[in-house]
Chains A and B, each alone.
Chain A
Amino acid sequence: MMDKLFAGVRIRCLEKADYDKTGQKWSVFLAPNTLLKAVARLNDDGWFLEDVCAVDSVEGFLVLYHFDHWQKSGRLSLKVLVPHDDPRVPSISGMYQGALWHERETHDFHGIVFEGHPNLIPLLLPAEADFHPLVKDAKSRLPLKDLMVLGEVVSCEESIQALFPEEAEEAAAEQGGEEAEAEAES
């Protein structure tokens, strides 16, 4: 289902999450430059945005977009990893106006810059605030592999698989063929 939805969009990693454990059905890693294309597909397919948030990790900020659907229930999470020193992702507020505030909030809390946002001013913090409260110091940051697990991997680029070392070997053995296909498609 997801392969079809995202056909032609370059996906860094597509995994079927364990709904009973994570409350999510699909999890999709994307590069910042393919985010808008993927979100446009969701928009055409009638998904709605639940929220946007970020998680601070050793590898960078993981910006998360949670989507759900009115008819076909099943949470989908788009994940975009951006570096600490230049955290930029395109704003999806052109398609989902609900993101206007979620993105401002994420900018407040983590300092993520949403490019193309029409009004990226503080939402919840005071206008003069010069800090981002949810950014962790280097000591308390943890790598992504300690925070989440990959579910059933459908396709995955090496750069993402390298972040989750335990899963890497199994997934590569099972999904080697499909991965090559996904590469060819993109």
Chain B
Amino acid sequence: MTRYPNMEQVTGDFYTQNFEKGAREGSLILNMGPQHPSTHGVLRIILELDGEYILRCDPVLGYLHRMHEKMGESKTYRGFIPNMGRVDYGCPLPWNWAFVGAVEKLAGIEVPERAEYIRVITTEMNRITSHLLWWGAYILDLGAFTPIMYAFDEREWLLDLLQTPTGSRLTYSSFRVGGVGHDIDDKFIEGLKAFIPYFRSRLPMYKDLVTDNIILRKRVEDIGPMPLDMCRRYGATGPVIRGSGLAYDIRRAEPYGIYDRFDFEIPTQDTCCCMGRYKVRLAEFEQSLRILEQAVDQIPDGPIIMDKAPKPSWKPPKGEVYFAVEGARGKTSVYLVSDGTKSPYRVKLRAPGFSNLSLFAEAAQGTLLADAVAILGSLDLIIPEIDR
């Protein structure tokens, strides 16, 4: 056999060959990604197809793997915070919170009131921007171009506002151990107060234009059932599990920060399908707005970071700690082992998307290829978070 320079494209690489082993006679093996628009970044899925139906599939990860956990072992506690802005670019503030929260728990650090409020305000804004990004992109996956323009219009407003307390537009790393890095000003509060009613007035339009649209409904209703038992076996969390009827939210189940002070609901849908997950995220817009309203009203004056906040040379006590927060995609947590030196001994990042995506292979089995795209999008994947 002639040796082609690009032999891998002919025979398939290691993962394809490994996947092919169990293939049925006459089926088609198809590589979707890593450069496929509906895989949101660089996720690759190997599919075995019978006509348009998926016999089985296997996601291949690692194209965006950066080994944050190894970096954690050589950086100082403060120096690792920028990494947290880059794990999940769609919703980095919960990652910030998971890490500083773990360190604060380990060292028994109290965060000033005002900093707690700034954390809640910026995180909830970030949750809205993340859901907007998902909403626009999901509809785009399903073939409608216009909604992402509306979504990004709203998102832009929030990104402009978020520049004040975070200093950036995408990879936020503004939390500090013991507080936050930047204060918010009156202009920010005014802008946010104007945004809340405006965004609320837009939500009915989202519903009329997209949610009730018959084409969307045919694509997502009763597609990709994920019953609770399946969610439990895979450790799915966030809107995925709430779309399957369980009101499980870390902000309630394991309250952190000052979330116990706010009045908000945990939206659920019990249809277990893509539409359920879709509706949960849309309902979460309103709940985030409610939290924002209350937080903006209640925010006290005061310092935004503790006295003598940890410097780069700071050393926490030794010990292990696990800290979880509710990110836009679900349970975002950090497990930290400290040996009492300047750098962590071990950092483990628990990404919600990782567990949510691991469920995909089972959920997509037996569905149409086009429906698999709808299922994939309904999981709200951010690949850098999954690969870490």
Contacts A22-B322, A124-B62, A148-B320 given; indicate if A142 touches B358 (C-beta within 8 A). no
Cβ distance B161 to chain A, nearest Cβ, rounded Å: 32
Decide yes or no whether A123 CB sits under 8 A from chain B.
yes
Contacts A50-B331, A66-B335 given; indicate if A146 touches B233 (C-beta within 8 A). no
Decide: B70 and A146 in contact? CB cutoff 8 A.
no
Decide: B105 and A127 in contact? CB cutoff 8 A.
no
Contacts A20-B105, A97-B233 given; indicate if A51 touches B321 (C-beta within 8 A). no
Cβ distance B115 to chain A, nearest Cβ, rounded Å: 20
Decide yes or no whether B204 CB sits under 8 A from chain A.
no
Complex CA gap A63/B104 in Å reads 25
Cβ distance B246 to chain A, nearest Cβ, rounded Å: 6
Decide: B320 and A48 in contact? CB cutoff 8 A.
no
Decide: A123 and B62 in contact? CB cutoff 8 A.
yes
- In the complex, which residues of chain A have a beta carbon less than 8 angstroms from the beta carbon of B102? 23
Decide: B337 and A147 in contact? CB cutoff 8 A.
yes
- In the complex, which residues of chain B have a beta carbon less than 8 angstroms from the beta carbon of A127? 13-15
Cβ distance B209 to chain A, nearest Cβ, rounded Å: 35
Name the CB-closest residue of A to B106: A21
- In the complex, which residues of chain B have a beta carbon less than 8 angstroms from the beta carbon of A48? 231-233, 235
Complex CA gap A23/B253 in Å reads 13
Cβ distance B317 to chain A, nearest Cβ, rounded Å: 9
Decide yes or no whether B156 CB sits under 8 A from chain A.
no
Contacts A21-B105, A55-B346, A148-B337 given; indicate if A46 touches B232 (C-beta within 8 A). yes
Chain B interface residue count, Cβ-Cβ cutoff 8 angstroms: 50
Decide yes or no whether A163 CB sits under 8 A from chain B.
no
Decide yes or no whether A5 CB sits under 8 A from chain B.
no
Cβ distance A173 to chain B, nearest Cβ, rounded Å: 23
Cβ distance B98 to chain A, nearest Cβ, rounded Å: 11
Cβ distance B69 to chain A, nearest Cβ, rounded Å: 7
Complex CA gap A21/B70 in Å reads 24
Decide yes or no whether A73 CB sits under 8 A from chain B.
yes
Decide yes or no whether A114 CB sits under 8 A from chain B.
no
Decide yes or no whether B116 CB sits under 8 A from chain A.
no
Decide: A51 and B335 in contact? CB cutoff 8 A.
yes
Decide yes or no whether B340 CB sits under 8 A from chain A.
yes
Complex CA gap A88/B248 in Å reads 34
Complex CA gap A146/B320 in Å reads 10
Q: Which residue, of A23, A48, A133, has the highest number of chain B Cβ atoms within 10 A?
A: A23
Complex CA gap A139/B219 in Å reads 57
Decide: B345 and A147 in contact? CB cutoff 8 A.
yes
Decide yes or no whether B362 CB sits under 8 A from chain A.
yes
Contacts A55-B346, A125-B62, A133-B70 given; indicate if A100 touches B324 (C-beta within 8 A). no
0 or 1 for each of A91-133: is its CB under 8 Å from B? (1 = yes): 0000111101110000001000000000101111111100001
Decide: A96 and B108 in contact? CB cutoff 8 A.
no
Q: Which residue, of B65, B338, B387, has the highest number of chain A Cβ atoms within 10 A?
A: B65
Decide: B233 and A51 in contact? CB cutoff 8 A.
no
Decide yes or no whether A134 CB sits under 8 A from chain B.
yes
Complex CA gap A88/B339 in Å reads 26
Name the CB-closest residue of B to A67: B235
Name the CB-closest residue of B to A64: B335
Name the CB-closest residue of B to A74: B254
Decide: A50 and B254 in contact? CB cutoff 8 A.
no
Decide: A147 and B335 in contact? CB cutoff 8 A.
no
Decide yes or no whether A2 CB sits under 8 A from chain B.
no
0 or 1 for each of B310-339: is its CB under 8 Å from A? (1 = yes): 000000001111111000000101010111
Decide yes or no whether B31 CB sits under 8 A from chain A.
no
- In the complex, which residues of chain B have a beta carbon less than 8 angstroms from the beta carbon of A155? none
Contacts A22-B320, A46-B232, A147-B320 given; indicate if A124 touches B348 (C-beta within 8 A). no
Q: Which residue, of A51, A95, A123, A125, has the highest number of chain B Cβ atoms within 10 A?
A: A51
Decide: B233 and A98 in contact? CB cutoff 8 A.
yes
Decide: A21 and B323 in contact? CB cutoff 8 A.
no
Contact among B15, B106, B319, B348 for A51, CB-based, below 8 A: B348
Complex CA gap A24/B323 in Å reads 9
Q: A46-B232, A124-B388 are known contacts; what are 13 more A-B pairs with Cβ within 8 Å? A: A21-B105, A21-B108, A48-B233, A51-B235, A51-B333, A55-B345, A98-B234, A101-B358, A126-B62, A146-B340, A147-B318, A148-B319, A148-B320
Q: Which residues of B contact A (CB under 8 A)?
A: 13-15, 18, 61-62, 65, 67, 69-70, 73, 102, 105-106, 108, 231-236, 246, 248, 253-254, 318-324, 331, 333, 335, 337-340, 345-346, 348, 350, 354-355, 358-359, 362, 387-388
- In the complex, 7 of the A-B residue pairs with CB atoms within 8 angstroms, ordered by the A residue number, are A51-B355, A73-B253, A100-B358, A133-B67, A133-B70, A134-B73, A147-B320
Sorted nearest first, the 6 A-B pairs with minimum C-beta distance are A23-B322, A127-B14, A98-B234, A98-B235, A53-B348, A148-B320
Q: Which residues of A contact B (CB under 8 A)?
A: 20-24, 46, 48-51, 53, 55-56, 64, 66, 70, 73, 75, 77, 95-98, 100-102, 109, 119, 121-128, 133-134, 142, 146-149
